[in-house]
Amino acid sequence: MTFEVTILGCGAAAPTGKHNPSSQIVNMHDKLFMVDCGEGTQLQLRKFKIRFQRINHVFISHLHGDHYLGLMGFISSMHLLGRKSTLQIFGPPELKEIVEIQLRASQTFLEYPIEFHPTTFDEKRLIYEDRSLVVYSFPLKHRINCCGFQFVEKEKKPKIKKEIAKAYDLLPSNIVALKNGQSTLLANGIELTPELATLPADSIRSYSYCSDTAYSENIMAFVEGSSLLYHESTFLESEKERAKTTFHSTARQAAQVAANSKSKQLLLGHFSSRYANDQDFRTEASSIFGQVEIADEGSVFQVNY
Ligand SMILES: [Zn+2]
């Protein structure tokens, strides 16, 4: 099952020729979730051929402009493109008024409904659930209210062995019984047990997104055991003091969170434009964590088992 992250923007603060402001698309089981929506996000969707109307859920971490100033354009374009289905927006409570005032000023009457889901910043909370996945928000340590998001697969059922499926005519009722751990009687009188006919379910994968945050040990518990952890690394250790005063992290600190939370893989982003070579972030983080990836616009990262 698909579980991957496409980077639309991974630069900090103002857009540059090198990086767009923050935005990502999480594809989980072929459902597309937008995470943050910095300026220029629409153009990135066009560039990387991601269809606007496939996105039904947008998650905004906080109200610094580099994380949400693309949202209004995205909402307007979907109206122009004839969207009818509801858009679910998860973000700080003030976001609803910010969007509504702009719609009112331009006398835009959207052809589709928006449902706002205000986020909170005090504890880890379940904010979305469907048949196969759940999404949590969790507080980060930033200059204004800010939360991260975690996408987690639900527990899966055991898989029917290929050779069993090939050898017997399994009815849907046989498959349901086996996947639920029960023995089942086939039409030809043979009884199949789950031990004989199934393989253990795939393990559960999770993706955690820590957008803007100072180094915080609290975060480690929220993202524990992530298959893939995105953690901002605006700075390198040489700017550690600056990271502290601006409530951002260094690459080394991000790696510390990855290591202490026992995450499997670390993805770094939100790079300050002061650095010429993004690989320096990898070098710094790699000194304390093995599996480090560097975000870049258009790159797709798999969330592995
Ligand atoms: Zn910020």
Q: Express the helix, strand and coil content of the chain in percent, nearest 5 each.
A: 30, 30, 45
Rg (CA), the chain: 22
Buried b / exposed e over 148-159, threshold 16 CB at 10 Å, is: bbbbbbeeeebe
Ligand 1 centroid–CA 212 distance in Å is 5
| Average of per-residue pLDDT across 147-162 | 95
Of 49-63, 142-156, 157-171, which range is least confident? 157-171
* Ligand 1: centre distance to CA 169 (Å): 57
CA of 208 from ligand 1 middle (Å) equals: 17
Q: Which two tokens stand for residue 35?
A: 């995470």
Separation between Cα atoms, residue 69 and residue 174, nearest integer Å: 52
Question: Mean pLDDT, the chain, as a whole number?
Answer: 96
Query: Does the annotation count 169 as an active-site position?
Result: no
* Residue 262, pLDDT score: 97
- The C-alpha atoms of residue 294 and residue 10 are separated, in whole angstroms, by 9
Q: How many CA atoms within 13 Å lie on the side-chain side of 72?
A: 17
187-198 per-position pLDDT tens digit: 889 999 999 999
Q: If DSSP codes are grouped into helix, strand and coil, which group holds residue 4?
A: strand
Give the Cα separation of 159 and 165 in Å (integer): 10
The residue ranges of DSSP E strands in the chain, in sequence order, are 3-9, 23-28, 31-37, 55-59, 87-91, 114-118, 125-129, 133-139, 147-153, 159-160, 184-185, 191-192, 198-199, 206-210, 228-232, 266-269, 292-294, 300-302
pLDDT at 20: 97
72: exposed, middle or buried (Cβ count in 10 Å: 0-12, 13-18, 19+): middle
Q: Provide the CB-side half-sphere exposure for 113 (13 A, CA).
A: 3
pLDDT exceeds cutoff 90 at 13: no
pLDDT (tens digit per residue) in 29-73: 999 999 999 999 999 999 999 999 999 999 999 999 999 999 999
- Give the pLDDT band of residue 148 (cuts 50, 70, 90): very high
The residue type at 18? K
Q: Are 73 and 81 in contact (CB under 8 A)?
A: no
Query: Residue 156: what pLDDT?
Result: 87
| HEC assignment per residue over 116-129 | EEECCCCCCEEEEE
CA of 181 to the centre of ligand 1 (A): 47
The 10s digit of each residue's pLDDT in 89-105 is: 999 999 999 999 999 99
The SS3 assignment for 260 reads helix
> Which pLDDT does position 175 carry in this prediction?
95
- What's the token pair of residue 124? 């880890």
Which three-class secondary structure state does DSSP give residue 104? helix
Residue 17: band (very low, low, confident or very high) from pLDDT cuts 50, 70, 90? confident
Distances (CA, A) of 139 to 36, 64, 97, 184, 220: 15, 15, 22, 47, 11
Provide the residues around ligand 1 (an ion) whose CB is within 5 A: 64, 212
| Residue in 30, 36, 66, 130 annotated catalytic | 66
Count the Cβ atoms, other than its own, within 10 Å of residue 162.
9
Write a three-state SS string for 197-257.
HEECCCCCCEEEEECCCCCCCHHHHHCCCCCEEEEECCECHHHHHHHHHCCCCEHHHHHHH
Percent of the chain with pLDDT over 70: 100
pLDDT tens profile 262-277: 999 999 999 999 999 9
- Output the CA torsion 150→74→39→42 (10° steps): 90
Q: Compute the distance from residue 1 Cα to the ligand 1 centre, in Å.
A: 33
Give the HSE-up count for residue 158: Cα atoms under 13 Å, Cβ half-sphere: 19
